[in-house]
Amino acid sequence: MYYYHLYGLEVESELEIPELRSIGARSSDASIRFGEIEEELSGAIKPVRWLQHAGNECLMTVQGVGRFLIRDGREIVIDRRVDRSRDRGQGAPISDVRLYVLGSAFGALLHQRGELPLHVSAVDSGSGVWAFTGPSGAGKSTMAAWFHRNMGWPIISDDVSVIRPADPSPKLYPGPRKLKLWSDAIDHLGCRNNDLRRDLSNTEKYQLFLDESDCPQASPLKALIVLERTEQAPVLERLTGLEAFRVCRRSVYRPLFETCFRKRSDFIREIVDLANRIEVYRFRRNWSLDAMSEHFDVIDAVVGRKRLSEVS
């Protein structure tokens, strides 16, 4: 067995996961194991083709990879058989299996536990944690990597982080110590010589592994910035009310799982509470990598003022 720390949880796993920080053997909050999984859950609801759920468990079927059974917010079972004619262990590359375990499978587990997984990349600016959100391809990871590499801002987390609604104030619990970057961003940032591993085996997206010696714990979330595209000059604007709520709502990772395991009224209340307790911004910018320095100037104009006001 392997033991890891992830999203503020202690995890016991039959699957070796080099993306995670190892810890000593101890009692666990969640477990990952291999096992045989039936193709259907009894009495299941099927909101989409690849997902079915019943009670507090769900079954994901990923074509070409395998099946993942997530139960009670405590267990992930992996069946790598792509079809019944193949033995366990003869399916997709194990790196692809790990990608779905750390992503969608853990997303389902976190929703089952009543927590809020967010699809963000986050850095510590010195005035608190600033997290970037937005649709796939908006540049969340690239922004975080640029600030880390050029300004020395520590990366708190990338891709998925977790908010626990029960905490007295919003804290971000980090995920795996890696960045997901496309090949052109890696070249632009000068990261080609770093510890890189292909994300999915059939894409040009890579995982850049971060230094384990600087492994952050849960950190107070200061602000959430949604990234949008424009061909005009970059602009950062503060959002409040319904607009801030919508940004927080859209930043939730795998919101489909929320509809499977959460009361809608509880979920909406938690999103409203988050939007009221952090600063929310919209950052419109040209998506050119060459404009990153200009982007930083716009954001730092706000971040710098926050630092000065807190010192004074």
Domain ranges of the chain: 2-113, 117-311
Alpha-carbon Rg of the chain, whole angstroms? Answer: 20
CATH number of 117-311: 3.40.50.300
pLDDT at residue 41 tops 50: yes
pLDDT number for residue 189: 67
d(CA 279, CA 93): 41
Q: What share of the chain is helix, strand, coil (3-state, %, to 5)?
A: 30, 30, 40
pLDDT at residue 294 tops 80: no
First to last CA, the chain: 51
Q: Cβ distance 105 to 97 under 8 Å?
A: no
Helix (H) or strand (E) holding 172: strand 171-172
Phi, psi of 32 (to 5 degrees): -125, 130
pTM summary value: 0.86
Phi, psi of 167 (to 5 degrees): -65, 145
pLDDT tens, 219-272? 899 999 999 988 888 889 999 999 999 999 999 999 889 888 888 999 999 999
pLDDT tens, 56-112? 999 999 988 999 999 999 999 999 876 544 444 456 788 889 989 999 999 999 999
CA nearest to 163, candidates 309, 275, 291: 275
CA nearest to 118, candidates 221, 190, 205: 221
Q: Cβ distance 173 to 164 under 8 Å?
A: yes
pLDDT tens, 276-287? 999 999 999 887
d(CA 312, CA 306): 10
Listed in sequence order, the residues at least 6 apart from 201 whose beta carbon sits closer than 8 Å to its beta carbon are 92, 93, 95, 96
Q: Cβ distance 140 to 234 under 8 Å?
A: no
Phi, psi of 33 (to 5 degrees): -145, 165
Region at 138 (left for phi over 0; alpha for psi -120 to 50; beta for the rest): alpha
**Burial (CB count <10 Å: 0-12, 13-18, 19+), residue 136:** exposed
